[in-house]
Amino acid sequence: MISIRDFSREELEYIFDVADEMESIYRSGTDVLRGKILASLFFEPSTRTRLSFETAMIKLGGGVVGFAEPDISSVKKGENLADTVRVVESYADVIVLRHPLEGAARLAAEYVNIPVINAGSGAEEHPTQALLDIYTIRRELGRVDSLNIGILGDLRYGRTVHSLCIGLTNYDVKLFLISPELLRLRREFLEEVKKKVEVVETDRLERVIDKLDVLYVTRIQKERFADLAEYEKVRGAYRVDLDILQRAKESLIVMHPLPRVEEIDPEVDYTPHARYFDQVRYGVLVRMSLLKLILSG
């Protein structure tokens, strides 16, 4: 479970079907994974992803060990990742790994005989986020095919964006990529996506807002701009508020991987468009589905 590229449409749909079944276990718990242990290895901080996996494991009756930041691990003593995961292999039945380096999860998986779930590595991949994003669309709109899906913000560096784009190429969707020039999807990646689905690029949300069924918002980080004046110029144009939503379809759903800073106005929370907190709950269901499929055979 390293890359969203490892999944066919059929596999995605199967994971989502099992996620649907997790709804009742989510409420009452089960002990189907009693005696199983998930190792939660976070070499970068991430409350949401870590707690989501841990919750999913506990709801299924399993246990959790791990660390939430690298300083408190023996990494401090200079141990390399290959050794760390080979040690942890003796403790756990599945490893959930978050790491700042590209390819860390794949490397880890090569060294151990237990499943490794990539919980974000480098800028490219965050596959379980993509799974829960697509599952959210399926749950909230009843289907993924034939939808107009806008992705807004930092398309160049955001790892959730990359995994989501690849995941969506399994469906018959139209993608609207909305970002400042500087933060557009990289060319070669864009070409790959374009081979599978129709893509429209724009630097103005207002030009496409009325066409969208889904608006997926991500943060634009100040640090990406060499020139701060440049940043100040664009930031307002990528903020979602009641104003811009007046031009949207009534059924538009607004999503966000969270945490948000100011790219979605808090007023939006109280509109029927907001789905970012539901997304969090769906994330637990999807991760329960994955853990159940991986660990209970």
Binding residues for a second copy, per CB under 8 A?
25, 27-31, 34-37, 39, 45-48, 51-52, 54-55, 58-59, 63, 65-69, 71-79, 82-84, 86-92, 258-261, 266, 277, 280-281, 283-284
In angstroms, the CA 19 to CA 284 distance is 9
Residue 78 C-beta: closest distance to a second copy, Å: 5
Nearer to a second copy, 84 or 148 (CB): 84
Neighbour order of strands in the sheet with 37-42: 63-67, 37-42, 94-99, 116-121
In angstroms, the CA 96 to CA 162 distance is 20
Which tokens hold the place of 126? 């965050």
Our CB check for a second copy shows the closer of 3 and 46 to be 46
Q: What are the C-alpha distances in Å from 70 to residues 41, 79, 81, 116?
A: 8, 11, 11, 18
Q: Cβ closer to a second copy: 249 or 260?
A: 260
We find the least distance from the C-beta atom of residue 59 to a second copy, in angstroms, to be 6
Q: How far is the CB of 194 from a second copy (least distance, A)?
A: 31
Q: Which residues are catalytic?
A: 48-49, 77, 98, 126
- φ/ψ region of 103 (left if φ > 0, alpha if ψ in -120 to 50, else beta) reads left
- Identify whether the C-beta of residue 156 lies closer than 8 Å to the C-beta of residue 182: yes
Residue (200 or 258) nearer to a second copy, CB: 258
CA–CA separation, 114 and 117 (whole Å): 10
CB 67 within 8 A of CB 39: no
